[in-house]
Amino acid sequence: MLTDILQPTHLLLVLVVALLVLGPKRLPDAGRALGQGLREFKSSISGEPMRDDAAERGALTEADLDDTPTADPADREHAAV
């Protein structure tokens, strides 16, 4: 019964309806939220703690952002002269 629902044409129809309802700007956020919810559900069922996917993907942390050099307005004045 489940295999009848997951046919490619049905999945394509669901994707088109989701695109029409959510729009192209909100669809990636909705997919990301759905994936995060499924991961949280899976980890709560299995009893394993959730891992931080952002750190594994190499996302910038606040400490990384603090180390970035900033342009000093005085430096711009000297460069313009």
pLDDT of residue 72: 58
d(C-alpha 40, C-alpha 2), whole Å: 23
pLDDT of residue 17: 93
Q: Is 63 left (phi over 0), alpha (psi -120 to 50) or beta?
A: alpha
Q: Which domain holds residue 44?
A: 2-80
pLDDT tens string 53-81: 555 555 555 555 555 555 555 555 555 55
Q: How many domains does the chain have?
A: 1
pLDDT of residue 1: 58
Task: Work out the number of other CB atoms within 10 angstroms of the CB of residue 74.
Answer: 8
- Amino acid, single-letter form, for residue 53: D
* Predicted model pTM: 0.47
Identify whether the C-beta of residue 36 lies closer than 8 Å to the C-beta of residue 47: no
d(C-alpha 81, C-alpha 79), whole Å: 6
